Amino acid sequence: MGLLALVSLVLLLVQLLLVVRVVLDWSVMLAGPAMPGSARSKALDVIYKITEPMLAPVRKVLPPLRAGGISIDLAFIVVFLAISIIRSFL
């Protein structure tokens, strides 16, 4: 496995973690907050610790877009698309 293939694999894993974050975020919106100590709560903590360092700097430059009663996290979209573009060049 070459270096570029390894980098592409790592970026794919990051994209998968971002998708998991979206699913967990939606679970909070639909089912309510996770009970402390539950598997969902632990999963949220782990995913946030991994993905937030990538999203926070982008979110400072590009804050969430308010659309009525919801907000759309543009940082997530930008990071996800940037990773997709980088992977397409590898």
Give the C-alpha separation, 89 to 48, whole Å: 27
DSSP state of 32: -
pTM of the model: 0.84
Beta-carbon count within 10 A of 14 CB: 17
Q: For 14-43, how does the pLDDT look when each residue is reduced to its tens digit (9 = 90+)?
A: 999 999 999 988 887 777 777 787 888 888
Q: For 69-89, how does the pLDDT look when each residue is reduced to its tens digit (9 = 90+)?
A: 888 889 999 999 999 999 999
Q: 22: burial class by Cβ within 10 Å (0-12, 13-18, 19+)? A: middle
